[in-house]
Amino acid sequence: MKTHIAACGVSLVVATLAGCGGSSSNNDSAPPTPPISSAAACTALGGTKIAATSIGAPSNGATVASATLVAASSTAGEYCQVNGTIAPVDVTAPNINFEVNLPTVWNKKALQYGGGGFDGTLITGLAALDMAPAGSSTPLARGYVTFGDDSGHQSKSITDGSFAANDEALANYGGLTLKKTHDVAMLLLKARYGTAPAKTYFFGSSTGGRDGLTVIQRSPADYDGIVVNRPALNYTGLRLSNVVLGRALYLNGGSGWLDVNKTVLLENAVMKACDTLDGVADGIISNVAACKLQAPAVLAALRCPAGKDTGDTCLSDAQIATVNTIASPMLLPYPLANGLTRYAGYNILAGSVFAGPYTTRTFGNSPTPSNPAGKSDANQWVTGDQWVKYFITRIPTFNSLTFDPLNPAAYQAQVQRVSAESDATNPDLSAFIAKGGKAIITHGLADEIVSTDSSVDYYNALVQKFGQASVDSFVRFYLMPGVGHGTGPFLPQVDSLGALEQWVENSTAPETLTVTDSTVATAGRTRPLCRYPSWPKYTGGDVNSAASFSCSQ
């Protein structure tokens, strides 16, 4: 029988579970109700209806479509897999699909997973964490309640931005889905166990990193700690920079476009100039600040005679201009959310990987792009083109090369509205700090998709607002040499969730961590993961051992 379990403080209709406490009678002499089995407790969640008033962002409520007890396996213990939907206010908008996994043996903690790209695929909460050490247990296997969603739309491609033509779907993707899914997960968790979690964490990379910063900026009371990697936090700045990059490549007859051979030529020249600036030739650029000082000489040496394109052994003046555009910050004459007027440049002249053996995300196959942009075009342009078409103009056939990020004219107001909905750049984390929240932020120095320095800019904004000592009390920021956007010569493995748990639960703040490489050719080598602004400097000994490096400024 379905009843309202107000005694558990949960505003939803669900079968009464023994975990809520109490007894089946007011007679004190009556025997206690026997504990409900895990199978029955799971089955009881099926068909649960959650009222819109119980969810902290506008919706039409949530429905559990299925609750299935999953038997223990070699990778996880027994758990109840709950799948359902959160209905939109706008009936033309898509549902949010969610999954909540409730382990039979619970560690009293919960973990929300972030998404990636333009999302559209259900994040189940079953996967291993990004960059987790090889052979380590998943959070669910460790007893965490885990949960995720599809950000409020469904697609087969994370580069499909068509959902954003609907205002509510756009707002969900911008961050509202995170609150909605969190609140539904907490209600289901309380219905199953009769209590709230002792600690709630968030883990995400890229768009999921933006998600993590979004939740502590907008819903700080809901979380005790986050781990975010390569966060796309200045999301509108990122997409505007995608368009700037595309225009540099493709306007003027494609004279500024770089094919794979030219891009690799540039990357090899940068590596030759900068590899040993950290004390050792290991195919990793760690001293990025010193490397950037070499950029003028590197470009001068690569310049074609008279600046005219003569093939893949040099760069023309137009191609050098494209490289400088990518490396330089984009400066806007109008503000985005939180007053930002800048999106940082990329480390294309300091180790970022835009072509070669470590990535497939090149500048495409032709100096003439498709409309809409597709797989043969520059990877960054694909997302920029989708963003212009669906987030801003709402015209699927729009020629995005005609959109000027520095002067969006009639579209400026929409750019700013989208920025307010989707960016995670607010440095005011006062409420998160007050509750003792902790954050670990990492970013690869070779990132080709999200500017590494966009994370540096946000960290510096925190320092400017709160002071270094205060920031040290709640943030650890690490830059990873040789690490791209899931690419690069160093593919890291590090137990960042474990470091966060020690900080939140035992007050042991992480300092220098150790990161292990999983790149096939160099698997097993280790490096110190240094707190910003330090970087690993070789001091002598085994070049594959973290012990041979010290964190230097």
pLDDT one-digit tens code per residue, 286-298: 999 999 999 999 9
Write down the catalytic residue from 153, 182, 443, 485. 485
Write down the catalytic residue from 59, 151, 205, 206. 206
Domain coverage including residue 517: 430-552
Q: State the average pLDDT over residues 24-48.
A: 77
> Tens of pLDDT along 387-402?
999 999 999 999 999 9
Task: Please tell me the predicted confidence (pLDDT) of residue 525.
Answer: 98
Whether 212 maps to a domain, the answer reads no
Closest C-alpha to 67, from 133, 15, 27, 6: 15
Task: Please tell me the predicted confidence (pLDDT) of residue 527.
Answer: 98
**Does residue 34 carry a pLDDT above 80?**
no
Whether 228 maps to a domain, the answer reads no
Q: State the average pLDDT over residues 413-440.
A: 98
Confidence label for 206 from pLDDT (cuts 50, 70 and 90): very high
Q: State the average pLDDT over residues 206-230.
A: 98
Give rounded-to-5 percent helix, strand, coil for the chain. Answer: 35, 20, 45
- The residue from 393, 422, 451 where one domain ends is 422
Q: State the average pLDDT over residues 435-449.
A: 98
Print burial letters for 125-158: b (CB count within 10 Å at least 16), e (below 16): bbebbbbbbeeeebbbbbbbbbbbbbbbbbbeeb
| Distance (Å, whole) CA 223 – CA 437 | 7
| Distance (Å, whole) CA 428 – CA 217 | 7
Instruction: Kindly report the average pLDDT of the chain as a whole number.
Output: 94
Whether 528 maps to a domain, the answer reads yes
Task: Please tell me the predicted confidence (pLDDT) of residue 28.
Answer: 54
**Does residue 224 carry a pLDDT above 60?**
yes
Q: State the average pLDDT over residues 354-369.
A: 96
Task: Please tell me the predicted confidence (pLDDT) of residue 16.
Answer: 35
Residues 379 and 522 in one domain: no
Residues 102 and 54 in one domain: yes
Residues 87 and 123 in one domain: yes
Per the structure, the count of domains in the chain is 3
Which amino acid type is present at position 484? G
Task: Please tell me the predicted confidence (pLDDT) of residue 36.
Answer: 84
364: which DSSP letter?
A: B
| Distance (Å, whole) CA 61 – CA 66 | 16
From residue 478, alpha-carbon distances to 115, 356, 441, 542 in Å are: 21, 25, 6, 23
Q: For residue 497, how many other CB atoms are within 10 A of its CB?
A: 21
Whether 202 maps to a domain, the answer reads no
Q: State the average pLDDT over residues 201-206.
A: 98
Whether 230 maps to a domain, the answer reads no
Residues 437 and 391 in one domain: no
> Tens of pLDDT along 118-154?
999 999 999 999 999 999 999 999 999 999 999 999 9
Q: How large a percentage of the chain has pLDDT more than 90?
A: 93
Residues 305 and 365 in one domain: yes
Task: Please tell me the predicted confidence (pLDDT) of residue 75.
Answer: 84
| Distance (Å, whole) CA 170 – CA 164 | 5
Q: Does the annotation count 206 as an active-site position?
A: yes
Task: Please tell me the predicted confidence (pLDDT) of residue 50.
Answer: 98
Q: Does the annotation count 4 as an active-site position?
A: no
Whether 503 maps to a domain, the answer reads yes
From residue 404, alpha-carbon distances to 233, 388, 486 in Å are: 22, 10, 30
Residues 388 and 529 in one domain: no
Residues 398 and 309 in one domain: yes
Residues 438 and 499 in one domain: yes
**Does residue 546 carry a pLDDT above 70?**
yes
Task: Please tell me the predicted confidence (pLDDT) of residue 133.
Answer: 97
**Does residue 3 carry a pLDDT above 80?**
no
Task: Please tell me the predicted confidence (pLDDT) of residue 31.
Answer: 65
- The residue from 403, 422, 441 where one domain ends is 422
Residues 14 and 59 in one domain: yes
Q: State the average pLDDT over residues 229-248.
A: 98
Whether 204 maps to a domain, the answer reads no
Q: How large a percentage of the chain has pLDDT more than 70?
A: 94
Residues 392 and 464 in one domain: no
Token output for 484: 């791209």
Write down the catalytic residue from 275, 377, 447, 517. 447
Token output for 64: 């559990």
Residues 434 and 478 in one domain: yes
Confidence label for 33 from pLDDT (cuts 50, 70 and 90): low
Residues 435 and 398 in one domain: no
**Does residue 109 carry a pLDDT above 80?**
yes
Whether 208 maps to a domain, the answer reads no
Print burial letters for 369-406: b (CB count within 10 Å at least 16), e (below 16): beebbeeebbbbbbbbbbbbbbbbbeeeebebbebebe
